[in-house]
Structure formats: structure tokens, C-alpha cells
Structure 1
Amino acid sequence: MIAKNFLTFSNLKEKLSLPKPWDIIIIFLLNILIAIPVFLIGHQNFIELNWVYNLDRILLFLIIVTIIQIILQLLKTIIILCIFIYLISLIYGTLFGSYGFQRVYEDYRYMIYAMSDNPKPQDLIISKLLPFPNKSKTIDAVNFTNPKVRNFALYATTKHFKDIKKNNKNRTLIQCFAVFKEIKNNWNYVSDPKGREYIAYASESLQHFSGDCDDHAILMSACIKAIGGTPRIIHTGGHLYPEMLIGNKNDLESAIYLIKEVLFKDESKNQQIHYHIDERGQIWMNLDYTAKYPGGPFMKDEILGELTFN
């Protein structure tokens, strides 16, 4: 029986093994992809010895590559199986879902770009690796194509700031701020059932304008998405809140002017505008239910994860 099981395992291992030199090539490429972010962490956290030609950093990189190569070789069969499953999921995501090869490439490139200027790049990796709570349920709940969500967002744009002069560049921004104002004026915070996380669809929250922070973030994101804006939901650990994409620094200046001088003069008087700049250099403005105006103070500053609705 033991011999039979051993033969079965050996056959399975043989079937999963790639012919040479493909196994060596795949392991080497995977090594480099892992070694680059690990090296950036080491580079920014280890003391520089100031050796000639930066030989200390070259040695550090070679040590990292060697260690990773040994580990990957020892786990070669399992890793190749994991890569196969991963590729299948990416093919499915590319064809039918929202997360495919292009998103993987962009996420890796933007992570490396951000880590190069981040004094604590390990924090960025941790934020990328931490799971977003109830991710699939949250994505489904942001049902921006629902007619009730779309009609409410349209109603908000006709109720607030309709007479403000708009151009092609600031029209969507002003209309998203109108959605923020309408939800802010009507939102009633109600906790979830004790011991249970209840995630309401955006169309459901419209019935009573009530719920907790994740329900508010879902509703705000869905309404902004429904009228052409780009929202995201930030996870801070025990709290979720929505942000919307403003654009670059010039777009931020326009948004601040509209908030402080035109749309929310009283609410934002003598107040600071709060926003985040992501690894791509894009600016996201706080739209939490605790804020009296777009860009109001953050309830929590930490970011453990984010969910963007492009």
C-alpha cells in the first residue's frame, strides 16, 4: 500500500514537472520577480557600507537571489502547480472577470514604482497582501447599473449645484459632489446586527438611507460610478470609507477651489482638504460619512487595503 502510494506520488510529480530547460527558466523568472521587491526592502532598511561601486548592494542582491533560488528549487513541484492554477485563474479573469494579466502587470509595476521612493516599502507590500474584507460581496453590492441607483444619482445632480457653471472638465466632479451632499444630508448611521457583518446593496440602502460605514461606502461608490466618476473604498481595519478620483495636482487645485469658494464654502471655511496620493501619482479625495464636505478629515489615517471601481 505504501509502495503504491509512493508510485502514485512519483507519477504525479513527474507529470507536474516541466521538461528542461523550461523548469529552470520559469524558476529563474519567478526568482527575479520576487527578488526585486525583497531587495528594495533590504536596500532601504540595511545600513549602507559605502563600498566602491556599491558592491555592498550588489552583494546583497546576489545573496537574496541565491536564497530565493534555493527555496524555489526545493519547492519546485508545488510552485509549478501553483503557477499553473494561477495562470488558469488569470486567463479566466482576463476573459470573463475584471482581474487579468494586464491588472497583474500594472499592480506589480506600480508597486515597484512606489517602493523605490517609500521609506518603509514593507508597509506597502503588507497593504497589498492583506485581504480586503468581504471583497466579492462588496463588489456585488456596488450595483451601479441598478436603475434605482442611477436614478437617485441623477436626482442628486438636479437638486444640488445645477445652476453652477460647468465645463467638460469639471462637470462630473461637480455632479459627484452633488451626490455626496445628498447622501450626507440624509444618511442615518445604524449598526449591523450584533455578531454579524451585514452588507447591503447600494439599491437596498436607498430605501431608508441607513446603515453602517461599509453600507455608506458602497452606496457612495455606486452612485459616483453611476454618473461617470471613479470611486474606491478604503479599508482601515474596523472602518471602510469611500474616496473618489480627482486626477492630478492641477485637478486637485480646481477641486479645492470649487469646495472652498463655490460649493461648500460654509462647511469648509478655515478647514483643510484631506486626500491621498496613490503610487501612480493620482489624487483621491475623502468622502467619508463623518466629513461635512468633500475632503473632510479622515476618521482613520491608516490604509490596510483598497478596492477600486474603474
Structure 2
Amino acid sequence: MDASSATRLSFLLTLLLLTFIPTPSSCRSLATTVRCNKDDYNALMEIKAALGNPYHLASWVANTDCCDWYDVECDSTTNRIDQLNIFQANITGQIPAAIGDLPYLNTLVFRHITNLTGTIPSTITNLKLLTMVRLSYTNLSGPIPSFLSELTNLDYLDLSFNQFSGSIPSSLSSLPNLTVLHLDRNDLTGEIPESFGNFQQSISLYLSHNNLSGEIPKSLEAVDFVTIDVGRNKLEGDGSMLFKANGSAETIDLSRNQFMFNLSMVEIASNLQYFDISHNKIYGSIPEAITGLNLQYLNVSYNRLCGEIPQGGRVQNFDSYSFFHNKCLCGSPLAAC
């Protein structure tokens, strides 16, 4: 090869190498593809370590973009972690205090994790943007902390299927935006707080399968319930104030308590679909208004009802088991009057 050819070849090789050397601008472009905020990254790594580095969080790999990790979501505008959703995981331990270091969270979920124990860390009160908290189907225990009332943006709070005990914090009624409250399937005792009459908006309230006792507070007469489920407790007295002719109630479940009131006197909302007052001491007759309802479930068995079962609508779609063991009910689907 002559000198001229060697020079040309050297020039071409140099040009080729320069093509593959990243410029400062291309380095900046590469860096901007990592969306994860370093504070969020550090908090998530601390959460993973506190939970014992479980396999469920295997995608949480050091020095990678946490916005791409499983169980988390990044806000597209701020690039901050706004959702932590850990579901059906084989995890043993407690909810790490480091969750309080994710200040942009609006959704926090630990669900179907049977080896998750302990209680709710107080650092959750740092998360002022939370609108949904679902800590359910775990083995969390102890009293429900009253500091949850500091999460004033909460719309949905689900603490069901746990081992929470003690009384219901009256402060929960001060949550101004709450529309769904699940406290069912725990070991809660005491009475339903009188303060629950202070809910300002329509609400779905689930308190079933606990050991609540006493009477329904009269203050609840002012509340517009979409769902009121207090079944399988030890409640007694008058529950008639939960029925409102112009209310939003789609579900009323008072079953398996010791309620005693005259069913003939209640006014039933037209959109009621699920109606269970079974296993109480309720007397009187069944209101004729139930024939105009789009009932999906009906059970008035094991009470002290009398009179003819209203005929029409969807009422006769339900068999005798929905009506039997009453004092003197008659008519289809029971024996003729």
C-alpha cells in the first residue's frame, strides 16, 4: 500500500471512530431517559430492604429506572412515584416506615399479603396527596390509628379482612372527601361513633363481620348512604333511620344482629337492589313499595314479620328461604294466606 492510500485509510478509520463516540449532547439525551426521582428511588430501595428483598420485588434493581419497576407508577408530568400497589405477594414483615418518604403518592395498596403483620406506620401521615388507601386481606392488627384522619384527601379507605381490634376512631368522620369506608371483617368492638352522622357526602359504609354492639346512633339519620352494611355484629334497637325514601341506598344489610323495629313504617329508596334484614327481631309487614324495586337480593327470614308478602315486581323471583321463619307471613312463595 502506498503512502497516499495509507493516509486515506487512516482518515476513514478516524472518521468511523468519531461517529461512535457519544457527544456531550447525546450523553444528556441518554440521561434524560431515566425518569426516576432519586429521592423516590432511595425510598423504594429502603422499602424493599425492609421487606427482606422479596422475589415479588425482583424488578426493583439497583441503578435502574424505578419508573419502570413492577408495582409502582410514575406521574407523567412530575416523574414522581404516585402509586405503590403491592398485591398478592409472598412477603413477610411489616409495612415499612419508608412509605412516608414517597410524598407524591396518591394510591397506596398492600392487599392479599397474609404474612404482612404489625400496624399502620405513623409516617403515612406524610402522604398528604393520598386519595386511596387499601390495606386489606393481610394480618395487620392493633387499633385503627386515629391519625388516618390527617389524610384529608382520602376518598377511599379500605382496612377490611384484617385483625384490627378496639373501637372505631370517631375522627374518621372528619375526612371531608371520604365516599367509601371499609372496616369490615376485623375484630372491632364498641359502638358505631355518634360522629359518623357528620359525613357530608353520600358514602358507602362497610362494618360487617365485627363485634360491634349498642344501638345505631340517631345521628346517622342525616347521612345519605349508598351502601350501609352492618351485618353480623351485635347491634340492637332501632335501625329504621337507615331507610330513606329519597336516599341513594343501593345496599342495606342489617342481617344477623338484634334489631327491633316496625318494618311497616319504613320508607324505601327506589334504587335499593340488595336488601337483607334476616336474623333480627324486626316486626310488622313488608312494605308494598318493594314490588317496584329492581331487587338483586332479598332476605327477610328469621324475623317476626306478619301479613301477606307483596305480590309483583321481582319479589316472587326469590324462593321461600328468603321469607321463612317469620311469625305469620303468607302468600307466594310461602303458603297462601
| TM-score, scaled to structure 2 | 0.27
Rg larger in 1 or in 2?
2
More helix by share: 1
| TM-score, scaled to structure 1 | 0.28
More strand by share: 2
Greater RCO, CA 8 A, separation 6+:
1
